[in-house]
């Protein structure tokens, strides 16, 4: 081959090699690469009644989690197609994940809002991978599997230490569901918190004995009926699940493992949080235990999501025992 023809060919190969890997569908059922919310390389997992749309290009998020076409994640117009480096801040809405502890982990925009790669790995299964992050010394891998028939969605996050020193982090989920719902949290004993929860009060107080008209203990559950005085609430329950009933008559359930004999390195030793402002979203936050990760090693945490039809009480109060019975029956 003449040099004049070889140079353009090598240049083209270098350009292709520099592009982020694209997701591929191959012959896998219920999985496809689609354009959604201004992103051309989203991955969609779906069955007859459930749709999950993943966004590798900005933050490795879940943009859609729908039951019968109703998206239960907060995804407002205005940030379509935004990615790191573009003008503006870009709001990482919808199904976010993160690592903690909240107040001591280094700032990590590469993980939080940077460009990830996406790959379809099987029937209704996909994997998103972040860039290695110098600030934290880790790389994140997120694997999603949608059940063949139900709304069950397994969300596995792996923290991989790519540095030369041991790192200590924890899983921190930060999912934005639709606002204005009712939180149902099963309480367990023993608890460090007299009222079953703590309330973060600015600028630096964590109130271990809060009271609030929108929060009540009922039949062994904490029921959050509306926006509290301060939005950030933390719990140390070992139940391993909680529910959030939205006004669209859908119950968003998160299940997750709890390790009572392991340390939790959030500042109040929490197993979960709910951030409930007086606004259009509510943040649902399972938290994992402290992971001490040597160089080259990894730690994983899996939370499982469900969407269940459930009538929002137009009048009167929610019955948490009935909610728990439905979760036991239908969220498997």
Max Cα distance, the chain (Å): 82
Q: Which residues pair with 31 in a beta bridge?
A: 45
pLDDT for 95-147, tens place per residue?
Answer: 999 999 999 999 999 999 999 999 999 999 999 999 999 999 999 999 999 99
Mean pLDDT along residues 208-225: 97
- pLDDT of 13 above 90: no
Q: Which two tokens stand for residue 113?
A: 């809002």
Instruction: Please give the average per-residue pLDDT across 243-269, as a whole number.
Output: 97
CA 207, 263, 276, 135 torsion: positive or negative?
A: positive
Residue 280 near residue 76, CB atoms below 8 Å = yes
The single-letter DSSP state of residue 323 is H
Q: What is the reported pLDDT for 314?
A: 86
From 127, 124, 170, 115, select the one nearest 29 (Cα to Cα): 124
What pLDDT shows up at residue 318? Answer: 95
Instruction: Give the pLDDT confidence score for residue 22 in this predicted structure.
Output: 53
CB 69 within 8 A of CB 53: no
How would you write 46-66 as a 3-class SS string?
Answer: ECCCEEEEEECCCCCEEEEEE
How far apart (Å, rounded) are the C-alpha atoms in residues 201 and 49? 41
Exposure b/e, 72-109, CB count within 10 A at least 16 = b: bbbbeeebeebbeeeeeebebbbbbbbbbbbeebeebe
Query: pLDDT tens-digit profile of 73-103?
Result: 999 999 999 999 999 888 999 999 999 999 9
- What integer pLDDT is reported at residue 205 of this predicted model? 97
- Are the C-beta atoms of residues 244 and 306 closer than 8 Å to each other? no
pTM over 0.85: yes
Q: pLDDT exceeding 90 applies to what percent of the chain?
A: 90
Q: What is the pLDDT of residue 119?
A: 97
For position 315, what pLDDT does the model report? 84
Q: Domains along the chain? A: 21-327 (2.70.98.10)
Residue 197 CB: number of other CB atoms within 10 A? 29
pLDDT, tens only, 257-307: 999 999 999 999 999 999 999 999 999 999 999 999 999 999 999 999 999
Q: What pLDDT is stored for residue 11 in this prediction? A: 38
Identify the sign of the CA torsion 169, 175, 179, 182: negative
Of 319 and 4, the structure prediction assigns the larger pLDDT to 319
Instruction: Classify strands 153-161 and 272-275 as parallel, antiparallel or unpaired.
Output: unpaired
């Amino acid at each position: 081959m003449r040099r004049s023809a070889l140079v353009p060919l090598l240049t083209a190969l270098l350009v292709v090699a520099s592009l982020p890997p694209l997701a591929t569908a191959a012959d896998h059922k219920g999985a496809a690469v689609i354009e959604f919310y201004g992103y051309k390389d989203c991955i969609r997992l779906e069955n007859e009644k459930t749709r999950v749309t993943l966004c590798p290009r900005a933050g490795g998020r879940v943009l859609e989690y729908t039951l019968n076409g109703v998206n239960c994640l907060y995804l407002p117009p205005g940030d379509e197609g935004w990615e790191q480096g573009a003008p503006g801040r870009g709001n990482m809405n919808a199904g976010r994940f993160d690592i903690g502890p909240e107040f001591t982990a280094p700032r990590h925009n590469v993980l939080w809002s940077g460009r990830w790669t996406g790959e379809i790995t099987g029937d209704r299964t996909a994997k998103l991978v972040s860039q290695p992050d110098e600030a934290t010394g880790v790389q994140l891998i997120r694997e999603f599997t949608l059940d063949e028939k139900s709304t069950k969605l397994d969300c596995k996050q792996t923290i991989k230490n790519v540095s030369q020193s041991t790192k200590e982090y924890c899983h921190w989920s930060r999912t934005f569901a639709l606002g204005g719902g009712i939180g149902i949290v099963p309480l367990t004993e023993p608890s460090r918190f007299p009222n079953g929860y703590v309330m973060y009060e600015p600028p630096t107080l964590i109130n271990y004995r809060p009271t609030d008209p929108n929060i009540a203990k009922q039949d062994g559950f904490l029921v959050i009926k509306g926006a509290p005085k301060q939005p950030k609430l933390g719990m140390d329950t070992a139940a391993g699940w909680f529910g959030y009933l939205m006004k669209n008559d859908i119950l968003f359930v998160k299940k997750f493992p709890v390790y009572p004999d392991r340390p939790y390195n959030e500042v109040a030793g929490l197993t979960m949080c709910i951030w409930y402002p007086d606004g259009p979203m509510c943040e649902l936050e399972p938290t994992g235990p402290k992971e001490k990760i040597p160089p080259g090693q990894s730690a994983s945490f899996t939370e499982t999501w469900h969407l269940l039809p459930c009538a929002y009480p137009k009048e009167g109060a929610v019955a948490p025992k009935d909610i728990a019975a439905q979760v036991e029956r239908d969220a498997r």
